[in-house]
Amino acid sequence: MSSRDPMPLAGVFREDVQSMHAYAIQPSAGLIKLDAMENPHRLPASLQAQLGARLGALALNRYPADGINDLRAALAKHARMPEGFDIVLGNGSDELISLIAMACDVPGACILAPLPGFVMYGMSAQLQGLKFVGVPLTADFELDEAAMLGAIAAHRPTIIYIAYPNNPTANLWDDAVIEKIVEAAPGLVVIDEAYQPFASRSYIDRVAKHGHVLLMRTMSKFGLAGVRIGYLIGPKAVVEQVDKVRPPYNISVLNAEAALFALEHADVFDAQARELREQREVLQRALRAMPGVKAWPSDANMILVRVPDAQKAFDGMKSRGVLVKNVSKMHPLLANCLRLTVGTADENTRMLSALEASL
């Protein structure tokens, strides 16, 4: 092979990888970006200056060290981590999901999760060479208790993911059903609370009752999507195994310091979350009154809606300067569904106007 010949992919890259598509991020320049459940609020100017000074003073010539443990302690306090538990950090929840799959790659292992759900649960299984079992939700996006328990009995999953609330459906599931799943689980249960700042309840007060349940959160929805900090809480002996496969220095000193700074000013981010919850209710009322639109209840900073023609509505909204997420092809249950991120009051007004004009 000469230096100018392209490298043959066969025999070098895995066949399943060659057939995959990379995670797609929609171009958003010039658009109102309401497609990725981001906090629309930036830091106040005074805090920007303070954070800039702190980041500028960091020893960037050194590998991350004590600051990471400071962040672990601050997050443990913030989350009210139970006694006897420990915490491990990831470069966002995505890395933690991959680390869990890697640590639990035992012969015959499989990952089970309700569908539609967060795509990384299935992707982590595929990339690690594990079996993935998806159990469809009901038509109204509730957990199918019989189907879940039947799948657990049939497949004996090593890992079960329960998103609380779920993405993209935005709802919290029945706690009684979740407890039955937890009791039936032969392996780990990971409660994914990515949207906890917007939810009406949390699993944190129940997690200590079980020795096989982990709680996963992210600071992305807290307001730091660009900082990429996820964290996993669980019994010390369990978390220790996941930590063993974590790459060294996976959290940069810049990210850790930014996260610590945000936790020191948690009241600012709490106020932003409170405003977004209020705006969510404004959106819900407007969507319920919009002919041809069905909106589901939400405990997150997004709302799932069904419209007569999702592609037409998506294209129409984009042409009017508003970018949302067309999830209609993700799963049959999501036919003609769009996922709308809750934005500022002005952004939401423009989104509603664009949606109404695009139906």
Residue 352 and residue 274: Cα distance in Å, rounded? 21
d(CA 128, CA 158): 13
**Does domain 46-265 sit in CATH 4.10.410.60?**
no
Residue 322: which H helix or E strand, with range?
A: strand 322-323
pLDDT, position 2: 54
Helix/strand/coil for 105: coil
3-state secondary structure of 250: coil
Q: Which residues contact 56 (CB under 8 A, 6 or more apart)?
A: none
Whether CATH 3.90.1150.10 fits 15-42+267-358 = yes
Question: What residue type is 328 in one-letter code?
Answer: S
CA–CA gap between residue 130 and residue 21 (Å, rounded): 18
Q: 162 exposed, middle or buried (CB, 10 Å; 0-12, 13-18, 19+)?
A: buried
Per-residue pLDDT of the chain (359 residues; tens, 9 = 90+): 455 667 777 778 888 888 878 777 888 889 999 999 999 999 999 999 999 999 999 999 999 999 999 999 999 999 999 999 999 999 999 999 999 999 999 999 999 999 999 999 999 999 999 999 999 999 999 999 999 999 999 999 999 999 999 999 999 999 999 999 999 999 999 999 999 999 999 999 999 999 999 999 999 998 999 999 999 999 999 999 999 999 999 999 999 999 999 999 999 999 999 999 999 999 999 999 999 999 999 999 999 999 999 999 999 999 999 999 999 999 999 999 999 999 999 999 999 999 999 99
Distance CA 127, CA 255 (A): 26
* Domain-wise residue ranges, the chain: 15-42+267-358, 46-265
What is 212-246 written as a DSSP string? SEEEEEESIIIIITTT--EEEEEEHHHHHHHHHTS
pTM score: 0.94
| Alpha-carbon span 91 to 94, nearest angstrom | 7
Strand duo 110-115 + 131-136: pairing: parallel
